[in-house]
Amino acid sequence: MITAFKRVVSNGSKNFFRSGAVSFATVLIMTVTMIIIGLLMFLSALLTYTLDAVQSKVDVSVYFTTNADEGTILNLKDKLVQLPQVADVTYTSRDQALQQFRERHASDQLTLNALDELGTNPLGASLAIRAKDPTQYQSIVDYVNNDADLSAGGTSMIDHINYEQNKGIINRLTSVINATEQAGLVIVIIFAIASTIITLATVRLAIYSSRDEIAVMRLVGASNAYIRGPFIVTGILGGVLSALIAMIVFAPVSWYVGTNLSAWLGGFNLFTYYMSHILEFAAVLFGSGFLLGSFASYLGVRRYLRA
Amino acid sequence: MITFDGVSKIYRDGTPALEDITATIQPKEFVSIVGHSGAGKTTLLKMLLAQEKPTSGTVMFQDVDVHALPNSALHHYRRKIGMVFQDFRLIPNKTAYENIAFAMEAAGRHDDEIASDVPYILNLVDLSTKANHFPNQLSGGEQQRVAIGRAIINQPDVIIADEPTGNLDPINTYEVVEILKKVNELGTTVIITTHNKGVVDAMGKRVITMDRGRIVRDDPQGQYIL
């Protein structure tokens, strides 16, 4: 048993190196497959990163009236932070709002003059709320509107909530994000299937060139398992070598893209991502290379082993 | 040892390849099967190797019905038979040594057996100096000698040679026939099919003549007569 295994491995590796051109072609095609799989991993990471970035820019602001009690507002802020669907809440006091207004209009002397003319601060405090998921804004807004403390004096302290204005955009963004995620998944599946089929066909062609050899092995009295073994070893070698090539190729490419196109990708650094996830890449690529190579060879030989 | 009993093979379109073949081959015999192309010689050998099934009749090998063997047992059966072909059929990416060793590996023989038997056989077929040559680096005669080496390495009960000299020049033909004779003298049954009158006549052994799927002559010390 051990002898047979040793012979299968040794014959398989010899075949791999001796049938140079065929092995080269197989490795080339499998490398392309591995690179596609790796690119899909990068793509999904980039997509997640972009979606997170976009989602973090969406928020809902609650503007309070100028006479709203600061203690009540801070109290509401604490209550909101406790909610499971809230990511974070930022408080802007009346003074901060005024300061921001002045900074924003620093070059607009006319507006600043009008503000000075008023004598008092016309701006109310506000809370900027970010949800963990854009679909949860409605429930957060409902929560704020139903808070009893805010209307304690008979009139609501809320001047307005910009959710109603942003609602359309938020909803559209939510559906775009969902559609992008689904489309991404579909693309991943289609590419995975296509590259698997190409690899299967290539390995099958490589084994087709050995069909006479397989017939001879059968006539010499080799068992089916003994004939199949070396082909599977050859396939695994091809798959693992392809994964290795793809891993090596990704290093300089991700470095180049990371240093030169990071700004264009919204701050996503490919190289940093690759280096921090290198074990994950290795596991996926070597795993797929191993499985693809062995499975393709198994299928390729099978048809020549029937009586 | 080998018995063909009323073996017929009729292809699906109705063409008969073999018709009612009945013959017995004894151990240690040397049998030449002669006949025109299409006479059914190769089909008869394929029946014996269980590569084709007869339409009717049975082929017995040492009391075993060859065509009743399950697919999983065929490789065990085929190890009892050494095959030599007109087109050599060596494994192209294995050296002469490895081609012969492969038959032993496939039969599950030990490494030390292989290490001692293969050089002995290479010497027997006079190829010791070319052990590490690949088939495309060998002449036709040399390739056929490797093929014979591979056929005899597992000490089979029978050697079947289908037109073994068909692609060889007279000198190589002579050498191949001499090796087959030697193998037969060492106690192995040899069955060859051939078109070569010189080979058959020089042998002076049993000759079965076939024509259109039938045995038309079976002489214990025959000549090539068509």
User: What residues does B4 pair with on adjacent strands?
Assistant: B23, B59
Tokens encoding A22:
């065929």
Most B-contacting residue of A23, A217, A220, A223 (CB-CB within 10 A), to test interface: A220
User: What residues does A21 pair with on adjacent strands?
Assistant: none
User: What pLDDT score does B132 carry?
Assistant: 94
Kindly state whether residues A94 and A188 are assigned to the same domain: no
Interchain CB contact of B70 with A (< 8 Å): no
Q: Can you list the residues of chain A whose pLDDT is less than 50? A: none
Tokens encoding B153:
């390495």
Contact A29, A202 (CB under 8 A): yes
User: What pLDDT score does B150 carry?
Assistant: 92
Residue A81 placed within a domain: yes
Residue A185 placed within a domain: yes
Q: Do A216 and B110 touch (CB under 8 A)?
A: no
Strands B16-25 and B2-10, by their bridges, are antiparallel
Residue A37 placed within a domain: yes
Kindly state whether residues A208 and A293 are assigned to the same domain: yes
User: What residues does B31 pair with on adjacent strands?
Assistant: B191, B206
Kindly state whether residues A130 and A272 are assigned to the same domain: no
Kindly state whether residues A228 and A260 are assigned to the same domain: yes
Residues of chain A contacting residue B108, judged by C-beta atoms under 8 Å apart: 3-4
Average pLDDT, chain A: 83
Name the residue range of residue A218's domain.
2-54+174-302
- Kindly give the interhelix angle for B96-106 and B140-152, rounded to the nearest 10 degrees: 20
CA distances from A38 to A34, A264, B101 (A): 6, 20, 42
CB-nearest to B89 from A3, A7, A212 is A212
Q: Do A216 and B91 touch (CB under 8 A)?
A: yes
Nearest to B165 by CA among B179, B151, B186: B179
Most B-contacting residue of A219, A228, A306 (CB-CB within 10 A), to test interface: A219
Sign of the C-alpha dihedral, residues A5, A6, A9, A15? negative
Interchain CB contact of A2 with B (< 8 Å): no
Spacing of C-alpha A283 from chain mean position? 17
Tokens encoding B59:
């082929």
Strands B16-25 and A126-131, by their bridges, are unpaired
Kindly state whether residues A79 and A152 are assigned to the same domain: yes
Domain's final residue, options A156, A191, A206: A156
What value of ipTM does the predicted structure carry?
Answer: 0.73
pLDDT along chain B (226 residues), means of 10: 92 88 93 90 90 91 90 86 89 91 87 92 91 93 92 91 89 89 91 88 89 90 79
Q: Do B75 and A218 touch (CB under 8 A)?
A: yes
CB-nearest to B91 from A4, A213, A221 is A213
Kindly state whether residues A259 and A199 are assigned to the same domain: yes
Domain's final residue, options A156, A187, A212: A156
Q: Do B106 and A307 touch (CB under 8 A)?
A: no
Q: Three-state SS for B78?
A: helix
Kindly state whether residues A140 and A188 are assigned to the same domain: no
Residue A286 placed within a domain: yes
Q: Do B108 and A220 touch (CB under 8 A)?
A: no
Q: Do A220 and B78 touch (CB under 8 A)?
A: yes
Using CB atoms within 10 A of its CB, is residue B165 exposed (0-12), middle (13-18) or buried (19+)?
buried
Interchain CB contact of A222 with B (< 8 Å): yes
Total tally of structural domains belonging to chain A: 2
Listed as own residue / partner, the contacts of A220-225 with beta carbons closer than 8 Å and 24 or more positions apart are: A220/B78, A220/B79, A220/B83, A220/B102, A220/B103, A220/B106, A220/B150, A221/B75, A221/B76, A221/B78, A221/B79, A221/B103, A221/B106, A221/B107, A221/B154, A222/B75, A222/B102, A222/B106, A223/B75, A223/B106, A224/A305, A224/B75
Q: Do A217 and B91 touch (CB under 8 A)?
A: yes
Kindly state whether residues A178 and A272 are assigned to the same domain: yes
Kindly state whether residues A39 and A102 are assigned to the same domain: no
Residue A257 placed within a domain: yes
Kindly state whether residues A49 and A71 are assigned to the same domain: no
Scanning every residue of chain A, which has its alpha carbon at the shortest distance from the alpha carbon of B49?
Answer: A219
Q: What is the DSSP letter of B213?
A: T
User: What pLDDT score does A164 carry?
Assistant: 65
How many degrees, rounded to 5, is the angle at CA B68 between CA B1 and CA B105?
70
Residues of chain A contacting residue B49, judged by C-beta atoms under 8 Å apart: 219
Q: What is the DSSP letter of B110?
A: -
Kindly state whether residues A139 and A70 are assigned to the same domain: yes
Scanning every residue of chain B, which has its alpha carbon at the shortest distance from the alpha carbon of A15?
Answer: B93
CB-nearest to A221 from B93, B107, B110 is B107
Report the C-alpha gap between B38 and B138 in whole angstroms.
Answer: 30
User: What pLDDT score does A247 carry?
Assistant: 94
How many degrees, rounded to 5, is the angle at CA A132 between CA A127 and CA A134?
85
The number of residues making up chain A comes to 307
> Which domain CATH number covers A111?
3.30.70.3040
Tokens encoding B7:
């073996």
Report the C-alpha gap between A156 and A147 in whole angstroms.
Answer: 10
Domain's final residue, options A156, A184, A207: A156
Tokens encoding A113:
């003059």
Kindly state whether residues A180 and A284 are assigned to the same domain: yes
Residue A307 placed within a domain: no
Tokens encoding A4:
């047979």
Residue A34 C-alpha, separation from nearest chain B C-alpha, in angstroms? 28
Q: Do A220 and B103 touch (CB under 8 A)?
A: yes
Residue A165 placed within a domain: no
CA distances from B13 to A35, A145, B19, B45, B179 (A): 52, 88, 15, 21, 41
Residue A215 placed within a domain: yes
Tokens encoding A211:
């069909």
The enclosing H or E element of B21 equals strand B16-25
